[in-house]
Structure 1
Amino acid sequence: MAGTSTPGMKEWFETVMAAGENAENQPQTAPTPKLHQVIFLLRDNKNFAKYYEPRVVSLGPIHHGKERYRLGEKYKLRLTKDFVTESCENVNIDDLYKKIEQEIEKLRECFEEAVTKPYDNDSLARILFVDGCAVLQYIYYAVNNKFKEKNIKDDSVAFCQQDLFLLENQLPYRLLESLMSLSKMRDEFRCSIQNFIKRNHNMILEGGQQLSGKGERSGPQPPTHLLDLLRTSLLGPPGRQTQTENVQENRTKDLEWQSYRNLQELKAAGIIVERSCIKTGNYLRSIFFARKWINLLPGKYFNLYPGHISLPPMIVDDSTGPKFLNMIAYEMCLDFYNDFGVTSYISFLDSLIDEASDVKDLRKARVLYNFLGSDEEVAKLFNEIGTDLVPDLKAYKDVKYQIQECYDNTWMRFTAEFFHYHFRTSWTGFASLAALFALFLGATQTWFAAFSPDHCDDFCKKFTQNL
């Protein structure tokens, strides 16, 4: 009958209802996000897959045991031996390993269940012990330039450094803290981590700018892993405010989309980009917009450029793509509740960069330092990273509103285009001024010829002849 259901269907209905109840009763996020694989939406992108795979060394359980990383295993064992012998003189290897064994259940909880399911406690403890010791020793050697005296090649060092910031290669920071706690060089290791993060910061750190101390981020929670520490150091202190937070609710509804395509269109409208000042700190959140007035006459101001976008300076090199894509993948983890800070920054930068000329202008403004290759390559990189991103809609909202407001100002755009096309260089500027002066003289002569008294005719003729 149509009104009845089979036992199989009834069980299926119960499963559906139970799943809904479980979802409602669960907290929105876990206290600490777990370590797991990159979400399939990103991994299935053929252009991105290469950025998530280790190149030389695997860390943690996800890629452990793969044939291609066998050489990396030899390096890890060597670094582990150096960690035990050089920094743990009063502690033997048994005591170090027992420390990991005692915490293995808590360390297992740092990973998604599917990641560690193939490993029993003993196997997982061995993996984490070797990888944790190797990472700490690698960072110490990198910061103190000791690889040459250890006969480790530069290319291996460079590739390993990139592998340390892959999402699927992360180790729980709790593991590193446990190992450092038994080392006589615990303070040196914590300082090395801070300097290592600073070295991989990608932003141009000014003289007085510092990262959070002792290898911990500026917040109530300790870092989850090294990639998390890098992300928080790039974004800046949690209390840092931008113009975005002051945006009025009635204004947020006015900006549903942007009509400008790239930096060239903004430049034509009189909006230019400049490097952010030292006071704001060079963080991804340090993006501001301001109108600057030029004083031409005493007490008189004229706005030649209606708007200035201040951006933090950043280095673009071979590591930029992998770092930002893995931080974006981290922000997309289902159990990581965050403000999508890195995603929002890349999305904003992608709205400015569409072609090589945009990158060129950012280089001239000392906002981008290109160590990647051509300007076309940099533009392509940010266009690829900026594909299919879902940023926080409130991020940089006030900045975007003011940019759009200036861009829509017809008078400002006309003025900017006039100065842009007629005063691009000193020669075009002189030619434009000469043309304007000639028009002025012609108009003056015409006026005097039509309306001036007779006694001024001789003066006008002599004046124009002398010209």
Structure 2
Amino acid sequence: MPRRRAVQYKSLPSLEEMFKMVMEAGENANNRSPTATPKIETIQKFAFLQRENKGFKKYYEPRAVSLGPIHYGKPKYQLAEKYKLILASEFIKNSSKVIDELYKKIEDNIKELRECYEEEATKDYLDKALTWILFVDGCILQYIYCATTNKFKDLNIKNDCAALGQQDLFLLENQLPYRLLKRKQERGKPSFNGIPHEQRLSMDGESEPIHLLHLLRTTLLDNLKKVNNSNPNNSKKQDWQSYRNVKDLKNAGIWLKPKTTFLNDICYNPSCFIGYLSLPKISVDNSKGQKFFNLMAFEMCPDFDSNFEITSYICFLNSLMNHADHVMELRKAGILHKVLGSDQAVAKLFNELGTNLIPNLNIYSDVRADIHKHHRTLLSRLFQFYHDYFNRPWSVPAFFGILLELV
């Protein structure tokens, strides 16, 4: 029998150095304050597990325009490069500064701006190349200005190209540092005033965002309640199966109630013999799946400390609508406004988004516990009994006919 060859390890540190690495790793972890909020340091790529699913490529790869260094230079974005130069020219024309001065400001701060990206994203770019990319792409401010004032026709930019570009603004791998946009805003006339709710560049007293996707997440959530309707004790007693689809809730005497509020503001309120599950209104269009997917990917970034509010919301909503009938119930209740094809397409979208997610079980734990408690009441069981046996038009006459015959 041939002898098994020994495994060869190249460039292996000495044993003392490896022990030192172990001890330093432990010390670094212990020195980190558990209450301190970590800084959101870098713009980075999708996690490997998300990239492994080929079906998700449509969510993380730009469709029309690349912004920043991660997707720069790919052939399919060359048409957009021409439009970006037009927007940059228009931005400079409206600016109170000359082109050299705007470029020099980015060049002087390129080290700081490079640190806004993970090392892998910028390692192949020299400072000069990265400065040029950020200089041109930073003029996306002019695009936002044109979108809010309907001035694309003045620049001979077609509406379909403009619409695709708007979707690409909120991709995790397509972000520009917020500090870059803020500095260019200070030096140019096109501003963020008048930008739609999802694109406002202010955080109402919160710390400065790192990019537009972070800002979008903030505008969708109630920052005053990081974990809304939560009770850690409840989350230990119940599991996600306590959520039922909308038909199950309706059959048990729980009605849906719409409200205009933040996504994470979901609550249950008992009233007499029934219960009300209040959900925020949501519009589902062609860009919604892409935005939600990138927001969840942002929450999964290792240097972003979040409570997974968007992820937990998608899990909750996914549990309510497994089929087209459930989407129809949400539409009838005024909670869901559908712009995306059929009800089945909407159900498929949220089922796809809700695959392999790990939500925060503390979020909505009170709602989950209240729904579970409602299902155990006698009245809920009577509702369910009626639905199972008397929900068809002929059920009641047939029941009394059989009863009369027995008598």
The normalised TM-score by structure 2 is 0.88
Letter in 2 for 1:189: S
- How do 1:283-362 and structure 2 match up within 5 A? 283-293=262-272, 303=273, 305=274, 307-362=275-330
Q: Give the CA deviation at 1:257.
A: 4.3
CA shift, 1:421, in A, is 6.3
CA distance in 1, matches of 2:19, 2:229: 41
Residue 272 (structure 1) aligns with: 255
Distance 1:395 1:439, change over 3 A: same
Could you tell me which amino acid in structure 2 is paired with residue 233 of structure 1?
Answer: T
Name the amino acid aligned to 2:336: L
Q: What amino acid is aligned across from residue 204 of structure 2 in structure 1? A: S
The answer to whether the 8 A contact 1:242-1:286 is kept is no
Q: Quick check: 1:71 aligned with 2:79? A: yes
Determine if the alignment matches structure 1 residue 81 to structure 2 residue 99: no
1:15 counterpart letter in structure 2: M
Give the C-alpha shift of residue 439 in structure 1: 11
* Pair member with larger Rg: 1
Give the Cα–Cα distance (whole angstroms) in 2 for the partners of residues 309 and 376 of structure 1: 23
Cα distance change, pair 157–417 in 1 and its aligned pair in 2 (3 A) = farther
Please report how far the alpha carbon of residue 46 of structure 1 lies from its aligned counterpart in structure 2 after TM superposition.
1.5
Asked if residue 189 in structure 1 is aligned to residue 169 in structure 2, the reply is: no
Answer yes or no: is 1:18 the counterpart of 2:21.
Answer: yes
Task: Tell me the equivalent position of 1:211.
Answer: none
- What's the counterpart of residue 5 of structure 2? none
Distance 1:379 1:13 in 2: 57
The residue number in structure 1 matching 2:39 is 31
Please state how far the C-alpha of 1:372 moved relative to its aligned partner: 0.5
1:223 and 2:225 aligned: no
Per-residue CA shift, 1:374-394, capped at 9, x if unaligned?
111111110110011111111
For residues 141 and 421 of structure 1, do their structure 2 counterparts lie closer, same or farther at Cα, with a shift above 3 Å needed?
A: farther
Equivalent residues, number: 393
For 1:37-48, what aligned pairs fall within 5 Å after superposition? 37-48=45-56
The answer (yes or no) to whether the contact 1:354–1:379 under 8 Å persists in 2 is yes
Choose 147-156 or 254-263, whichever is displaced more.
254-263
SS of aligned partner of 2:277 = strand
Pairing 1:410-421 to 2, within 5 Å after superposition = 410-418=378-386
Q: Is the 8 A contact 1:261 1:351 kept in 2?
A: yes
Q: Which of 388, 397, 409 is matched with 2:377 structurally?
A: 409
Residues in 2 aligned to 1:369 and 1:330: alpha-carbon distance in whole angstroms: 25
Instruction: Describe the SS at the equivalent of 1:392.
Output: coil
Q: Give runs of aligned pairs for residues 30-429 of structure 1, distance below 5 A.
A: 30-85=38-93, 87-88=94-95, 90-133=96-139, 135-183=140-188, 185=189, 189-192=191-194, 195-196=195-196, 198=197, 215-236=201-222, 238-240=223-225, 244-245=229-230, 247=231, 250-259=233-242, 261-276=244-259, 278=260, 282-293=261-272, 303=273, 305=274, 307-418=275-386, 422=390, 428=393
Unmatched segments (≥5 aa) in structure 2: 1-8
Give the Cα–Cα distance (whole angstroms) in 2 for the partners of residues 12 and 53 of structure 1: 44
What residue identity is the alignment partner of 2:62?
P
User: Any unmatched runs of 5+ in structure 1?
Assistant: 1-5, 201-213, 294-302, 447-467
User: Higher mean Cα deviation, 220-229 or 412-421?
Assistant: 412-421
Aligned to 2:6: none
Quick one: structure 1 residues 70 and 24, their matched pair in 2 at CA, closer, same or farther if it must change by over 3 Å? farther
Contact 1:36 1:168 in 2 (8 A): yes
Kindly tell me: are residues 260 and 160 of structure 1, through their superposed partners in 2, closer, same or farther at Cα, counting changes over 3 Å?
A: closer
CA distance change for structure 1 residues 93 and 17 in 2, over 3 Å: closer, same or farther? same
Post-superposition offset of 1:422? 4.2
**Alpha-carbon separation, structure 2, partners of 1:169 and 1:275:** 34
Shift of 1:259: 4.7
> Share of identical aligned residues, percent?
45
In the TM superposition, what is the alpha-carbon distance from 1:351 to its structure 2 partner?
A: 1.4
Distance in 2, Cα, partners of 1:261 & 1:389: 18
Q: Are the aligned partners of 1:261 and 1:354 in contact in 2 as well (CA < 8 Å)?
A: no
Aligned residue number for residue 458 of structure 1: none
Does the 8 Å CA contact 1:346/1:385 hold for their aligned counterparts?
Answer: yes
